[in-house]
């Protein structure tokens, strides 16, 4: 009896189509484990082997990886939220009404919004913890100096992403929290008013600010962040992977 599925499996594995999809056998040998990593577009972020030290959770805290993981979750949930959202202050379809709809009408809308919200808070925390881990383990030292600079930029962009997203529900909480930021922007020496005008699209928080924050939140900042993440990861690889004792 069992020969039949085994034969089918064997036939499938040696078929033309299967072999065009997978260029290696099941990763139970060193060679196939190597092939599994470097013939896969997602896994090839990793080298084939890492130092054992790099696997120790008390050392890495997993925080860099989890920050990236939250970034991916935020991209996914954020894209889904975009289907239900109009960056408009009033009118029949408006931001606040859309959030209300998400909470009451859309199936799993509330859950979707909650996941996006809490993941965003989580990412601020994980990026911060990642930075702390990197600093105290001296991982910014040569040859990783510039990657640390990129890391500080990524921390800054994480805050900006979270902050621009904060305005989008257009409720009292969002409006006044962002007003605090607006007042800070206006207090920039020399170019305060001009800077606030460009960043918020006017001399007070209104439809322009919402639209600007929306575009920055869903296009500009994620692209920039993704770009920096790519460089960040690439440089980790090129600099010999995660740090460890010399």
Which residues ranging from 185 to 214 are in contact with another protein (CB under 8 A)? 185, 187-189, 192, 204-205
Q: Phi-psi region for residue 147, left (φ > 0), alpha (ψ -120 to 50) or beta? A: alpha
Which residues ranging from 215 to 244 are in contact with another protein (CB under 8 A)? 238, 240-241, 243-244
CB 168 within 8 A of CB 210: yes
Q: For another protein, which stretch binds (CB under 8 A), given 80-88, 162-170, 217-225, 226-234?
A: 162-170
Closest alpha carbon to 200 in 221, 182, 187: 182
CB 123 within 8 A of CB 64: no
From CA 151, how far away is CA 148, in angstroms rounded?
Answer: 5
Q: Which of 8, 12, 93, 135 binds another protein (CB under 8 A)?
A: 135
Q: Which of 184, 198, 219, 230 binds another protein (CB under 8 A)?
A: 184
66 or 221: CB nearest another protein: 66
Which residues ranging from 1 to 40 are in contact with another protein (CB under 8 A)? 13-14, 19, 24-25, 27-38
| Alpha-carbon distances of 86 from 81, 90, 92, 132, rounded to whole Å | 10, 10, 10, 38
Site string for another protein, 47-86 (x = CB under 8 A): xxxxxxxxx-x-x--x--xx--xx--x-------------
């Amino acid at each position: 009896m069992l020969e039949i599925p085994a034969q089918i499996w064997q036939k499938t594995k040696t078929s033309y189509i299967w072999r065009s999809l997978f260029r290696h056998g099941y990763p139970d040998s060193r060679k196939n484990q190597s092939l599994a990593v470097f013939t896969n577009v997602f896994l090839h972020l990793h080298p084939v082997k890492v130092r054992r030290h790099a696997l120790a959770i008390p050392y890495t805290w997993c925080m860099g990886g989890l920050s990236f993981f939250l970034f991916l979750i935020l991209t996914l949930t954020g894209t889904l939220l975009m289907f239900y959202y109009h960056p408009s202050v009033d009118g029949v379809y408006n931001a606040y009404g859309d959030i209300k709809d998400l909470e009451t009408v859309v199936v799993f809308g509330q859950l979707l919004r909650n996941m996006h919200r809490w993941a965003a808070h989580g990412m601020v925390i994980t990026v911060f913890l990642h930075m702390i881990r990197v600093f105290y383990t001296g991982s910014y030292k040569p040859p990783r100096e510039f990657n640390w600079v990129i890391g500080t930029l990524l921390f800054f962009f994480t805050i900006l992403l979270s902050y621009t997203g904060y305005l989008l529900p257009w409720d009292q909480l969002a409006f006044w929290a962002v007003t605090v930021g607006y007042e800070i922007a206006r207090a920039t020496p020399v170019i305060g008013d001009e800077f606030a005008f460009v960043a918020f699209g006017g001399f007070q928080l209104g439809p322009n600010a919402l639209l600007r924050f929306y575009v920055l939140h869903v296009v500009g900042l994620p692209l920039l962040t993704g770009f920096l993440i790519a460089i960040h990861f690439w440089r980790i690889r090129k600099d010999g992977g995660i740090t460890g004792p010399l």
